Amino acid sequence: MHRHHRLIGAAIVLLLVCTGITFADSLRYVPLDDPVYDFLEYARVAGRLDSLPRIRPYSQGDVTQMLGEVLESASDSSDEWVSARAGEHLARMDGPRQSVVTGHFGEEGTVTVDAGVSLTTDVALNRLRDTIPTFTTPFTLAIGLADDVHISLDVTPAFAYWAWYAQPYRRYDPQLLSDYYTYTYWFDTDTGSFNHSGFHEPGRPSFRIMFETLNQFSVDLDYLRLHAGRQALDWGPSNVSNLLLSGTAKPYDHLGFTMPLGSSGTFSWMTGILQDFAWESGPMEERLLTAHRVGYQITDWLYLAIYESVIYDLSFELAYLNPLSFYYVTEVTQGSDDNKLGGADVIVNLPNVEFYGSFFADDWDAGRLLSLNSSHNEWAGIMGARTAGLFLPGLALNLELVYLSHWMYTHFTWVDASNVGKSYQHYGTPVGHYLGPNSWMAHLSGRYDFTAGTWGETAVRLIQDGRGDINTPPNWTEEAALHEVTDYRDIYYTFLDRGKPGFTVDTTLDWTLSGHHDFPGVGLSLEVDYTVQYSFSQATEDMSRIAGSELLDHYLSLQANWSPGALLRVPE
């Protein structure tokens, strides 16, 4: 049977290459929510891929190449599930997901128009007034020149009815505020206007039009690949949320490049613009983020990566724009007050099991190298393990532990202690991990793919979140007084401020059950997510539970997507 799958897979790869359907626009990004990412992770853990890039999103050409490698690596009948799914995903990569019209110009140029409609209803089942129906109409125009150039624009207007008092989503899910312009029509006053923040008065009925835009420009120069556009990049080993750059962030404008280091490594560099909301028509807060990362598959079972990032004012800094410079040394030698961070990833592969870890540090004190609770050592860490088919072919399990220290991702400046302009966030959401400082999480999930378009998933999260947030830098004068020391560097924090009076810790336990199904041939897909969430607060002085803080919520999200290209696509 495995030989049969290999022959089918080889035929699919040969057909795609010969027709040029997939590779005609091979630089086009595959969206981060595409199920092929989970499958490729499964294939790597199962030993069907020699290595897996930890720089996402992947291009369609890269995904096709990796799927072909999976099919060619089949060794025995136990690989049948992997081979079958790989063939199905290859078929899915045959043209964009929502292709309505595909045309050609010149000798190797292609133009693709994608369109779709989506209807989503998010509801808090025990607070039905907190229901948000949303209708979206995504549209994409993509132009490809052979395998060398790709240009695309994605526009997704969302039309929503808002009357909620509390958002019908799990804690720590992305905020609803739009990136920039939002049109709001208030029913009670029969007036409407554009605004910059998407501010909502709880319970006040309104109609919203929110615009989400993405774009991509990529050029393949063989020895490196240049890219620019508006995307949320995802760099790291976690498929939940990463520390350096995470796909859970809001999209941001950026440019950069990725350069292969032989067949087993990559060097990546990017610089992007981070922004904040302009409240009350005030000035837009803008700053620059620059990051670089080297990753290498050292052996079949060991992958290592090191990286740096820096956030600085919206000004020209030649040293930061040099991809090979060391940001830590540059910031120190210049005497600037920029927010520099650095870290490393490690991945260890065993048969059907993968262990991974990430460490990201900010403002480390050389005199207190091993003091993880020192006030001057701000850091975040991830430890995780995932399995692929260890107990059942097709079953993927993932356990992940995350910790963020006090003040991680924030940035304090003695010039203006209230300035949050260099914090590690964009439009109110972290650029890195979605947790805030002074918090930790245990995340356990399981997923089974019945086909490439039908899967079920469940996840349990335990999160504890202490004082502080990404927009609140420390006031070291107040902190020193609180801990009764003269020098703030002599502060050593307890876990979540245990034993200190006057603060609270929020605990959240939630369980989510999700399902997705594609209806082949009609372009329709349905998705459902159900979450039950229990939360409460405790006083840090003695960890006693605060009366009246307990909440039990039930959330339901229903989504239907239709891609008319499955029925309306004009033959080439």
Determine the Cα–Cα distance for residues 90 and 68; give it in Å rounded to an integer.
8
Within a domain: residue 25?
yes
Q: Which amino acid is at 47?
A: G
Within a domain: residue 9?
yes
Determine the Cα–Cα distance for residues 34 and 368; give it in Å rounded to an integer.
43
pTM of the model: 0.90
Within a domain: residue 1?
yes
Within a domain: residue 10?
yes
Measuring CA to CA, how many Å separate 468 from each of 79, 320, 340, 465, 495?
A: 48, 29, 20, 9, 13
Cis status, amide bond into 57, omega within 30 of 0: yes
What is the 3 state secondary structure string of 455-483? Answer: EEEEEEEEEEECCCCCCCCCCHHHHHHHC
Determine the Cα–Cα distance for residues 207 and 360; give it in Å rounded to an integer.
41
Q: Which amino acid is at 554?
A: H
The burial class, CB within 10 Å (0-12 / 13-18 / 19+), for 3 is exposed
Within a domain: residue 491?
no
Tally of domains in the chain: 1
Torsion of CA 56, 322, 273, 342, to 10 degrees: 60
Within a domain: residue 156?
no
Within a domain: residue 523?
no
Q: Residue 354, SS3?
A: strand
Per-residue confidence in pLDDT tens, the chain, 572 aa:
334 444 334 443 433 333 333 344 689 999 999 999 999 999 999 999 999 999 999 999 999 999 999 998 876 545 789 999 999 999 888 754 557 788 888 888 889 898 999 999 999 999 999 999 999 999 999 999 888 999 999 999 999 999 999 989 999 886 665 666 688 899 999 988 886 555 788 899 999 998 888 999 999 998 999 999 999 999 999 999 999 999 999 999 999 999 999 888 999 999 999 987 654 445 567 889 999 999 999 999 999 999 999 998 887 777 888 888 887 766 665 656 778 899 999 999 999 999 999 999 987 766 676 777 887 788 999 999 999 999 999 999 999 999 999 999 987 654 444 455 578 888 878 999 999 999 999 999 999 999 999 999 999 999 999 998 888 888 888 888 888 899 888 889 999 999 999 999 999 999 999 999 999 888 899 999 999 999 999 999 999 999 999 999 999 999 999 988 766 654 44
Concatenated DSSP letters for 56-68? ESPBHHHHHHHHH
Question: Which of 571, 562, 569, 570 minimizes the C-alpha distance to 523?
Answer: 562
What integer pLDDT is reported at residue 286 of this predicted model? 83
What integer pLDDT is reported at residue 545 of this predicted model? 95
Within a domain: residue 13?
yes
Report the alpha-carbon angle 262-265-270, nearest 5.
115
Percent of the chain as helix, strand, coil, to the nearest 5: 15, 45, 40
Q: Residue 250, SS3?
A: coil
What is the 3 state secondary structure string of 386-452? Answer: EEECCCCCCEEEEEEEEEECCCCCCCCCCCCCCCCCCCCEECCEECCCCCCCCEEEEEEEEEEEEEC
Q: Which domain holds residue 60?
A: 1-97
